[in-house]
Amino acid sequence: MSTKNAIIANAIKVIDTESNAIKNLAQFVDDAFADAVEYIYNSNGRVIITGVGKSAIIGTKIVATLNSTGTPAVFMHAADAIHGDLGTILKDDVVICISKSGNTAEIKVLVPFLKEGPNKLIAITANPDSYLGQEADYILNAYVEKEACPNNLAPTTSTTAQLVIGDALAICLLSLRKFSSADFAKYHPGGALGKKLYLRVKDIARMNLKPQVSEQSSVKDVIVEISEKLMGVTAVTRNEKIIGIITDGDIRRMLSKHDYINDLKAKDIMSENPKTVNADILAVDALDVMDEFGISQLLVEKNENYYGVIHLHDLIKEGII
């Protein structure tokens, strides 16, 4: 077998091993899992997640997932906990300890201190009969038959299983909290996903120049307005009401049809009843309008008056597309 084929075969073997292990986790989702979820949901505190080694890294990711889906969480490294970080835990908090074996030295030192307080202890472990499993109030079984590592040593399948258990925990809590897309946007305002959930047309239009002519404006004035406002379009208005639109394409078509343009006015070359959107709708909904009608600009209205223009390029720039 060539080196390339061997690499491909090895990668597929790892994926198969880990996917089978994840599928096998479903049999361990039981009443203890449901009880743990309900306890966290009904608690008045945060979720404190702790662990060491690769489990600690997985713990930080689970903390991030919980925080972004409505469950306040904090990571506390197990080694640091016994050197002052135990002060992180407040009386109403719930503690989750992650350990594949449940018998590491750090866990055996930490757990007795955790048990001294009023906090419930949840274990994510592959060994329910371990020291951690015996001491925990709830066990989330993350058993795996073997690691993807050929020596069965490097944490691979086991950390994947821990991560999946954490995701299941977070999504169950999300569902109980009826955490909506609007809630999600509050926690993700800076990313493209968040923008799709909160960015409105007016937020974009107010940043653009506002091309505008009257129906009696000369063709020269129309061309100057389109050129200076850099939107490739201008609104034609009467008493701040939109009555038409003139695009770059309209200018080109006019020039191809008329030899003399000095007597033409904006009303003679505009397209009537242009597509418009309300300033208060989501930008992603404006994109749907552009897609539906195959256009790249939209005139924007607010309180039935002309407000501005948004361009397809604006949505690309904002990451909506």
The total of other beta-carbon atoms located within 10 Å of residue 64's CB is 14
Angle 47-51-56 from CA coordinates, rounded to 5°: 95
- Token pair listed for 79: 């080694």
Residue 188 labeled ligand binder: no
Amino acid at 263: D
- Token pair listed for 70: 């409505």
Interior/surface letters 72-82, b for 16+ CB within 10 angstroms, e for the rest: ebbbbbbbebe
Amino acid at 52: V
CA distances, 74 to each of 67, 86, 164, 290 (Å): 8, 12, 18, 43
Amino acid at 159: T
Interior/surface letters 204-224, b for 16+ CB within 10 angstroms, e for the rest: bbeebebbbbeeebebeebbe
Q: Are strands 47-51 and 138-141 parallel, antiparallel or unpaired?
A: unpaired
> What is the DSSP-derived secondary structure letter of residue 88?
G
The total of other beta-carbon atoms located within 10 Å of residue 198's CB is 17
Which parts are annotated binding residues? 77
Which parts are annotated binding residues for Zn(2+)? 77
